[in-house]
C-alpha cells in the first residue's frame, strides 16, 4: 500500500514538469482534422506543412488569435494555444530553413 502512495506522489510531482514542454505531435492532432494527416490541406483548406517559415507560422497564429486575420474557426482554435504550443507547432509544420 505504501508503494502505491509513493508512486502517486512521484507521478504528481512529474505532472507540472511534463506539462511545460508541449508535445507538438500531440497538438498537431487538432490540426489534422481539417488540414490533413500530413498537413497537406484538402477540400479548400490550406496546406500548413512546409507552406510557411517558422516566424510566418507563429505570426499567422498570433494574428488568428487576435482576430486580425479572417477565418471561420482558426481564431477560436488559435486562442486555445499558448505561445510555447504555437512555437512547437511552428517547428513541426514550418518548412526547413
User: Would you list the DSSP string of 8-70?
Assistant: HHHHHHHHHHHHTS--HHHHHHHHHHHH-TTS--BTTBPP-TTSS-HHHHHHHHHHHHTT-S-
User: Which residues are 42's β-sheet partners?
Assistant: 45
Quote the cell numbers at residue 37: 494527416
Is residue 14 assigned to a domain? Answer: no
| pLDDT tens digits, one per residue of 10-45 | 445 555 544 555 898 999 999 999 999 999 998 999
Q: How far apart are CA 75 and CA 59, in angstroms?
A: 13
Is residue 80 assigned to a domain? Answer: yes
Count of domains for the chain: 1
State which residues form the domain around 67. Answer: 22-93
Is residue 46 assigned to a domain? Answer: yes
| pLDDT tens digits, one per residue of 53-90 | 999 999 999 999 999 999 999 999 999 999 999 999 99
What CATH number should be reported for the domain holding residue 72?
A: 1.10.760.10
Is residue 41 assigned to a domain? Answer: yes
Kindly compute the dihedral angle of the four CA atoms of residues 32, 97, 85, 80, in this order, to the nearest 10 degrees: -60
Is residue 15 assigned to a domain? Answer: no
Is residue 31 assigned to a domain? Answer: yes
Amino acid at each position: 500500500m505504501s508503494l502505491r502512495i509513493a508512486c502517486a506522489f512521484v507521478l504528481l510531482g512529474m505532472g507540472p514538469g511534463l506539462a511545460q514542454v508541449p508535445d507538438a505531435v500531440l497538438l498537431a492532432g487538432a490540426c489534422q482534422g481539417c488540414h490533413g494527416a500530413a498537413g497537406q490541406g484538402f477540400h479548400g483548406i490550406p496546406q500548413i506543412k512546409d507552406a510557411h517559415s517558422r516566424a510566418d507560422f507563429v505570426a499567422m497564429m498570433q494574428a488568428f488569435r487576435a482576430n486580425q486575420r479572417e477565418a471561420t474557426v482558426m481564431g477560436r482554435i488559435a486562442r486555445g494555444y499558448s505561445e510555447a504550443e504555437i512555437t512547437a507547432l511552428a517547428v513541426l509544420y514550418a518548412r526547413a530553413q
